Amino acid sequence: MMTDRLLGATAIAVAAIMLMFGYGLQAPFAYEPVGPRAFPIIAAAMIGLCGVILLLKPGKSAAEPVGPIAAIAALSGCLAGYALLFQSLGFVIATTIFMIPIAMIFGAKWWQGALTGVVLAVSSYLLFDQLLEVVLPAGPFGGIV
Amino acid sequence: MDTFNYLMHGFGVALSPANLLLAALGAVVGTMVGVLPGLGPINAVAMLVPVVFALGLPPEGSLILMAAIYIGSEYGGRISAILLNVPGEASAVMTALEGYPLARQGKAGIALSLSAWTSFVGSAIATLGIVVAAPILATWALAFGPVEYVALMVFAFACLTGLLTDQPVKAMLAIGLGLAISTIGIDANSGVYRYTFGSPNLVDGVQFATVVIGLFAISELLIMLDTMHGGMTVRIEQLGRSLFNRAEMRFTNMAALRGSLIGFFVGILPGAGGTVASALAYTTEKRVVEKNDPEGSRFGQGDMRGLASVEAANNSASNSNFIPMLTLGIPSSGTTAIMLGVLTLYNLTPGPALFRSQPDLVWGLIASLFIGNFILLAINIPLVGVFARMLSVPAWVLVPFIVVVSAIGVYSGKSTTFDLVLMAALGVGGYVLRRLGVPMAPLILGLVLGKILEQSLRRALSLSAGDVAILWSSPISVTLWGMAVAVLLVPLLLPRLAKWRQKTSLQMD
């Protein structure tokens, strides 16, 4: 009930933002009847309509179990940290540092996590960067590590 | 005859050492991924998108690899369903219904080999069906102009909302979000920047791989936290006799055949993949058995016919999914939508013209489906014990592995922190949406079809100088609009229809 209403309200907000930034979209030289504005507005209308329906007629909420909030927040935080520091720390260091807590969230002891992190970081660096030529960030100690 | 020549040509492509190796690799990786609970074909294919580019594969090679992974994980999904009662994906839920009771009775080996065999039967029948139906449909679809395409895509979206879920509004919301994401970036027709908010990272749109990996692979990890409840205990039943005998095969032949046909036709419909097919096959088989052989029915307690029909239907549908994707350029499932997205990354326009302009690609893919199924049957019967051992890989190894491969995949595209952050954000956002009941497959379909839909719409309206009436000006488009409306309205009317019938029958009594 409540969650559907919240989803509906968010959808309406998204649609409003899309309209706000989409309404001014106009081609300097229009040589076709439908410009760049129409389609985003159609999409916004669709999202907004769904939002209104959800707000007015929310469905029954699914009673599925939600995992421990702390674990979900921790995993989200680790993912964000990994994404932000991937480039500046370099692949090997960032992977080692962030995979330890992620493994521990999923039940590893600290040394199991450390082992996973190191093995994963080094082996995938060798496989992707050296063998498959996917350039990965080397980080501050690039020459040594 | 023409078809036969093309097919032979396709086998020439698929049997080249490189492509054969890709098909075999895909089959093994796909089965392994399918075994792991929670990781379905769509996650496997999503994570593969950037890897395919990193390998520098030609388009036919990458499609062959992805297709092999896709059908391989459909094979693998049955293993965890039968052994652990944990379906690896939605379409394996029905497999567990009959497969797990069989395993409890010490017949796990029989259930596994029999389901591998019926999976093969289903796939083989569907692949034959592709060979027959796809060229005809492609020729027919060449008559499609922008007007018909608009109607066809609306029909596909209607199917997704009408058939897929019990919450059509949320599916529609997902489509809308997908369409919205597809508008980000520079507009090809006018050069206007749309929703880039001044960021150079958004000028050529959001990277497809980033969206797919974030919404599927990353959000799946958070879903895993919900379903884990502090460590799963893996207790695998004894396998018992490992191969079914001839009597059991004869016992299930008709069930497998019925399941294959149901799966084939359901798989062609946009939006209805293996999940709908296996559910429909299961209920049909149950009804048939209860009518003809009421004493012999063991449904719910491990009936081999139920297992056979479900697995045949599931695999048949995942193969016939390729028909609308190849002929019309309209994917009918999330997984084929990703493959279609990959085609567009190669600058290939999916659609009927593909049969003419890219015979290597189309027929090579079809031939490799045949070959892939043989490989899958060959590895799935003797090696089932090895694959079952995948189930004992702990989550704390699996999850970091998925995170690292995902990050490398996303980073390999443009090498920006922006894409990595977007991946993490979409992962969390996708998790929240999924928890709120918003399905992700329609979103991907909206994203993949958004650009094509917009182009078709604008081209159609250019033809008519802005008159909207052109959208329902041809018989094909009128039919498609009608079908779209029907698909949307029938589920709305059905409960009322059922209630009305009940009322009238009560009055009759």
The pLDDT value given to residue B223 = 85
The pLDDT value given to residue B180 = 93
Per the DSSP assignment, residues forming a β-bridge with B194 are B185
The pLDDT value given to residue A2 = 78
Phi/psi for B16 (5° steps) reads -65, 145
The pLDDT value given to residue B506 = 46
- Contact residues on chain B for A106, CB-CB shorter than 8 A: 224-225, 228, 394-396, 398-399
The single-letter DSSP state of residue B393 is: S
Q: Is the sign of the CA dihedral B413, B414, B415, B419 positive or negative?
A: negative
Contact criterion met (CB below 8 Å) for B465 and A116: no
- Nearest residue in A to B430, CA atom: A76
User: What is the three-class DSSP state of A35?
Assistant: coil
Contact criterion met (CB below 8 Å) for B194 and B301: no
CA distances from B210 to B121, B398, B418, B449 (A): 36, 20, 10, 17
- Are A75 and B454 an interchain contact pair (Cβ–Cβ within 8 Å)? no
Contact partners, residue B501, CB within 8 Å, separation at least 6: none
Q: Which residue has the tokens 């082996």?
A: A123
Phi/psi for B238 (5° steps) reads -60, 140
Count Cβ atoms within 10 A of the Cβ of residue A118 and give its class: 0-12 exposed, 13-18 middle, 19 or more buried. Answer: middle
Provide the ipTM.
0.91
Side-chain-side CA neighbours of residue B461 (13 Å)? 16
In total, how many domains does chain B have?
1
Dist. CA A35–CA A6, nearest whole Å:
33
The pLDDT value given to residue B424 = 95
Dist. CA B427–CA B424, nearest whole Å:
5
- Nearest residue in B to A110, CA atom: B396
Dist. CA A131–CA B180, nearest whole Å:
38
Side-chain-side CA neighbours of residue B19 (13 Å)? 27
- Contact residues on chain A for B398, CB-CB shorter than 8 A: 106
User: From the candidates B408, B412, B463, B464, which should be mutated to test the interface with A, based on the most A CB atoms within 10 A?
Assistant: B408
The single-letter DSSP state of residue A57 is: S
Q: Is the sign of the CA dihedral B290, B296, B301, B305 positive or negative?
A: negative
The pLDDT value given to residue B422 = 93
User: From the candidates B161, B225, B426, B455, which should be mutated to test the interface with A, based on the most A CB atoms within 10 A?
Assistant: B225
Dist. CA B172–CA B441, nearest whole Å:
11
Contact criterion met (CB below 8 Å) for B307 and B102: yes
- Nearest residue in A to B427, CA atom: A76
Dist. CA B140–CA B351, nearest whole Å:
11
The pLDDT value given to residue B502 = 57
On whether any CB of chain B is under 8 Å from the CB of A77, the answer is: no
Q: Is the sign of the CA dihedral B73, B78, B81, B83 positive or negative?
A: negative
The minimum CA-CA distance between A122 and chain B, rounded to whole Å, is 11
- Are B399 and A103 an interchain contact pair (Cβ–Cβ within 8 Å)? yes
Contact partners, residue B393, CB within 8 Å, separation at least 6: B36
In 3-state terms chain B splits into helix, strand, coil percentages (rounded to 5) of 75, 0, 20
Nearest CA to A17 out of A54, A62, A51, A63 is that of A51
Dist. CA B239–CA B266, nearest whole Å:
33
- Contact residues on chain A for B447, CB-CB shorter than 8 A: none
- Are B231 and A36 an interchain contact pair (Cβ–Cβ within 8 Å)? no
Maximum distance among all Cα pairs of chain A, rounded to whole angstroms: 65
Dist. CA B135–CA B133, nearest whole Å:
6
- Are A124 and B225 an interchain contact pair (Cβ–Cβ within 8 Å)? no
B103: tokens are 């395993």
DSSP per-residue letters across B50-105 = HHHHHTT--HHHHHHHHHHHHHHHHHHHHHHHHHHS--SSGGGHHHHHHHHHHHHT
Q: CB pairs below 8 Å between A and B: how many?
A: 205
**For the whole model, what pTM was predicted?**
0.82
Dist. CA A45–CA A16, nearest whole Å:
9
Of A24 and B502, which is predicted with more confidence? A24
Side-chain-side CA neighbours of residue B443 (13 Å)? 21
Of B86 and A128, which is predicted with more confidence? A128
On whether any CB of chain B is under 8 Å from the CB of A110, the answer is: no
- Are A128 and B54 an interchain contact pair (Cβ–Cβ within 8 Å)? yes
- Contact residues on chain A for B491, CB-CB shorter than 8 A: none
Query: What residues make up the domain containing B163?
Result: 2-508
The minimum CA-CA distance between B152 and chain A, rounded to whole Å, is 17
Neighbour tally for A144: CB within 10 Å: 7
- Contact residues on chain A for B407, CB-CB shorter than 8 A: 82-83, 86
- Contact residues on chain B for A132, CB-CB shorter than 8 A: 54-55
How confident is the model over A56-109, as pLDDT tens digits? 888 776 556 677 888 889 999 999 999 999 988 989 999 999 999 999 998 888
Option in B176, B412, B417 nearest A46 (CB) = B176
- Are A66 and B435 an interchain contact pair (Cβ–Cβ within 8 Å)? yes
Contact criterion met (CB below 8 Å) for B350 and B340: yes
User: What is the three-class DSSP state of A138?
Assistant: coil
Dist. CA A133–CA B450, nearest whole Å:
33
On whether any CB of chain B is under 8 Å from the CB of A80, the answer is: yes
The single-letter DSSP state of residue B207 is: -
Contact criterion met (CB below 8 Å) for A86 and B407: yes
Where is B132: in which H helix or E strand?
helix B108-141
- Nearest residue in B to A103, CA atom: B396
* Rounded mean pLDDT for each run of 10 residues along chain B, 509 residues in total: 81 88 90 77 79 79 90 85 75 82 85 91 92 86 84 84 73 92 85 82 84 86 74 58 79 88 86 75 86 80 88 91 86 83 82 82 89 90 79 84 87 86 94 88 85 87 83 87 85 65 49
- Contact residues on chain A for B226, CB-CB shorter than 8 A: 64-67, 72
The pLDDT value given to residue B391 = 76
- Contact residues on chain A for B463, CB-CB shorter than 8 A: none
Count Cβ atoms within 10 A of the Cβ of residue B151 and give its class: 0-12 exposed, 13-18 middle, 19 or more buried. Answer: buried
- Contact residues on chain B for A128, CB-CB shorter than 8 A: 54, 408, 412
